Amino acid sequence: MRRQDKHAVSMGSASVPPVGIPPTPPHTPPLAPCAPLPTLTALPTEIVCHVFSYLSPPALAACALVAHPLLPLARAALYARLTLRNQRHGRAAAHDASPLDEPSSALLATLRAHPRSLARLAHALDFDLLSHVGADDVAALLADVFALCPALTSVRLGAGAHGHGLPFRGLHRGLALSPAAAATAQRLTRLDVERCAGAPHTLALVLLEARELRALRIGQFLLEQDDWDLFCGKRAPQCRLESFVATGRITCTAFEFCTAASSASLRAVELPQCEHTALDLSRFSALSSVALSLFLASAPTPFSPAHAAFEPTMQRLARHFAATLASARAALVSRVSLAGAWDCAATAPPGASQAVDVVLHARLLERLPREGVREVVVRTELNAIALAAWLADDEWWGGPARAALPPEEEEPPGSPAASVASLAVSTNVPSPVGSPSPPPPPPRSLSSSPTLPPSSRRRADVAVLELWQKQSYSAARREFQHRVRERVEAGARERGVEVRWRMYERW
């Protein structure tokens, strides 16, 4: 080493002070990494399937491309329900073209290309007829779908103005075209032909093949005993229904035919009730929910209480309504729904609906069974007079709403209890349609009710009253509905009944 280098090193070591190293801190383990947030693929399968049930088909198709574990779940939700349409804006399809629209044709083509992986996922069919399609074409389409999708258990058929009456024949022929289609009929658990019409014996022949049917929804079914004997050979369906809905007129024979083997399984029914016949519900031991849609098969013209046939018609309707409910074993029926009766007459002049409210509604409510029924649902607007008269009827409710006060201790007119008692005699209800209601017979007030025997003082079991009002954009109509609510809620509070209000735009 040269002399100058040694001198530089010695000078540097002498001029730089020593550096003190801090003591080593105690050992600390490394921080654990944060647990990743659960992803969609990490959720339980049940939760993912529930989420997928709310998604639209394009969203389900996108979810199928997110991750491989989501592919089978998204496919199952995407192809579970087949929606087929043939809407061509009223124009018939070409002779060599498919009667279905383009999305429906593409869907069937995809199922034919993947029969094992996709076609077996279909469990429900929703087929609407909205163009000129013959019964043979309908039968061929249904037979093709039934043979292609062996897991179908639910079918809904609809018909527009051009397909009226064809689905019954098409469904019956489609089920008989191939053994695979016939096997589908035996597997069906849900059938919805509410929007269809046709010969009643055709629907009866279809029901004879559906042995596993659990839910049936039909429209008008006018099956008579002669048709039953001639076309069905006096055979009855073997299906054990749990839910039966009829939205159109149905005969007693048709009702007995549909529910021949459902005495121990039927739980909920929705039936039409007219003034001609009363339906027998006494043989259904598991029945818990009854919904009756009331209508007039032969409404008097003009439709008003002044007509000579009005009062006898209403009496027959109320009598058959009470007989139907009485046969339902009120101790088992916990929910009763009412609808119709005031919107059924095509010849009803303006204001007639409110006239029926006053004359008819209170009578129908008084025919409800007092024991067993916990919830009453009225799926239409009632007049405040009818509801207030029913809530103020001590004889029906099994006792006065409050203890009768002596004359010297009677409450002042301005008190809340006195205002509730005045509901029973108040008839000044403004009409939203411009036609005043005729005054009903003056009901009994709360303080003047006769002394009831101890056996009839038991309170009625009704605890919930669900009422529906139509959505209105008129300020006068909304004000009228508000007054109805106030009067009804005041009477319900005295009876200890919970009132639930619902709004509807159309049924």
3-state secondary structure of 243: strand
Give the residue with greater pLDDT, 242 vs 164: 242
Distances (CA, A) of 262 to 52, 209, 217, 285, 289: 34, 16, 15, 9, 15
pLDDT at residue 353 above 80? no
pLDDT at residue 162 above 80? no
β-pairing verdict for 498-504 and 464-470: parallel
Lowest-pLDDT range, 182-191, 207-216, 380-389?
380-389
Strand partners, 269: 244, 290
Lowest-pLDDT range, 176-180, 266-270, 479-483, 494-498?
176-180
Q: In the predicted model, what is the mean pLDDT of residues 266-281? A: 88
Residue 168's pLDDT is: 80
Q: In the predicted model, what is the mean pLDDT of residues 271-279? A: 86
Lowest-pLDDT range, 141-150, 164-173, 363-372?
164-173
Query: Quick check: 347 and 300 in contact, CB under 8 A?
Result: no
Which regions of 67-114 does DSSP assign to beta strands (E)?
81-85
Contacts of 9 (CB under 8 A, 6+ apart): none
Give the residue with greater pLDDT, 55 vs 130: 55
Contacts of 463 (CB under 8 A, 6+ apart): 374, 375, 496, 497, 498
The residue type of 15 is S
Element (H, E) at 293: strand 289-294
Query: Quick check: 168 and 196 in contact, CB under 8 A?
Result: yes
Element (H, E) at 502: strand 498-504
Lowest-pLDDT range, 41-55, 143-157, 336-350, 464-478?
336-350
3-state secondary structure of 378: strand
> Which tokens belong to 454?
């101890």
- In the chain, what percentage of residues exceed pLDDT 70? 68
Give the span between the Cα atoms of 240 and 215, in whole angstroms: 9
Residue 256's pLDDT is: 94
Among 8-22, 95-109, 182-196, top mean pLDDT goes to: 182-196
Q: Report the residue count for the chain.
A: 507
Query: Quick check: 242 and 213 in contact, CB under 8 A?
Result: no
Residue 9's pLDDT is: 47
Give the residue with greater pLDDT, 503 vs 94: 503
State the pTM of this model.
Answer: 0.73
Q: Is 100 left (phi over 0), alpha (psi -120 to 50) or beta?
A: beta
Query: Quick check: 431 and 481 in contact, CB under 8 A?
Result: no
Instruction: Tell me the per-residue pLDDT of 306-322, one tens digit each, with 9 for 90 and over.
Output: 778 877 887 888 888 88
Give the span between the Cα atoms of 342 and 437, in whole angstroms: 14
Residue 411's pLDDT is: 39
Q: In the predicted model, what is the mean pLDDT of residues 5-28? A: 54
Among 34-38, 156-160, 456-460, 503-507, top mean pLDDT goes to: 156-160
Rounded to the nearest 5°, which phi and psi values hold at 65?
Answer: -95, 0
Residue 334's pLDDT is: 85
Give the residue with greater pLDDT, 256 vs 505: 256
pLDDT at residue 249 above 60? yes
Residue 303's pLDDT is: 64
Q: Is 90 left (phi over 0), alpha (psi -120 to 50) or beta?
A: left
pLDDT at residue 332 above 60? yes
Residue 10's pLDDT is: 47
> Which tokens belong to 457?
């003082």
Residue 436's pLDDT is: 36
The residue assigned the tokens 């919107």 is: 343
Residue 464's pLDDT is: 93
**Arithmetic mean of pLDDT over the chain:** 75
Give the model's confidence band at 29: pLDDT under 50 very low, under 70 low, under 90 confident, else very high.
Answer: low
Residue 475's pLDDT is: 87
Give the span between the Cα atoms of 239 and 431, in whole angstroms: 49
pLDDT at residue 36 above 80? no
Instruction: Tell me the per-residue pLDDT of 448-463, one tens digit each, with 9 for 90 and over.
Output: 334 445 444 578 889 9
Query: Quick check: 375 and 463 in contact, CB under 8 A?
Result: yes
Q: Is 491 left (phi over 0), alpha (psi -120 to 50) or beta?
A: alpha
pLDDT at residue 444 above 60? no
Q: With CA atoms as reference, report the closest residue to 232 among 315, 162, 192, 172.
A: 172
Query: Quick check: 445 and 425 in contact, CB under 8 A?
Result: yes
Q: With CA atoms as reference, report the closest residue to 384 among 304, 330, 443, 463.
A: 443
Instruction: Tell me the per-residue pLDDT of 201-243, one tens digit each, with 9 for 90 and over.
Output: 889 999 998 999 999 999 889 899 998 998 888 899 999 999 9
Strand partners, 293: 272, 339
